[in-house]
């Protein structure tokens, strides 16, 4: 069951991230103009999201090969 809990936790975190990104979109549209600092932070978000996508995609190619118990 641990794997299902991991998926659920990731989905919850992604939903939170999506909501916060939407909120920033609203703020930039209705409240304040983006700054160069904001643009840099957005670039960091985009880079982090790309890395997460690569890591998630890599899960598809993981092959089951349990260790012998040695650490």
- Tens of pLDDT, residues 7-50: 999 999 999 999 999 999 999 999 999 999 999 999 999 999 99
In a domain, 67, yes or no: no
Whether 39 is covered by a domain: the verdict is yes
31: containing domain: 2-58
What was the pLDDT predicted at 68? 81
**Mean pLDDT for the stretch of residues 53-69:** 93
Q: What is the pLDDT of residue 52?
A: 97
Q: Tell me what pLDDT residue 70 has.
A: 60
| pLDDT number for residue 71 | 55
What is the value of pTM for the model shown?
0.84
Q: Is 46 within 8 Å of 17 (Cβ atoms)?
A: no
> Any idea what the Cα angle at residue 24 is, between residues 42 and 12, rounded to 5°?
90
Domain-located, residue 43? yes
Please tell me the total count of domains within the chain: 1
């Amino acid at each position: 069951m641990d794997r299902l809990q991991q998926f659920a936790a990731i989905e919850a975190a992604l939903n939170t991230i999506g909501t916060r990104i939407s909120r920033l979109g609203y703020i930039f549209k209705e409240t304040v103009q983006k700054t160069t600092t904001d643009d840099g932070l957005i670039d960091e978000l985009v880079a982090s999201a790309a890395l997460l996508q690569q890591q998630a995609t890599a899960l598809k190619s993981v092959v089951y090969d349990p260790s012998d118990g040695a650490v």
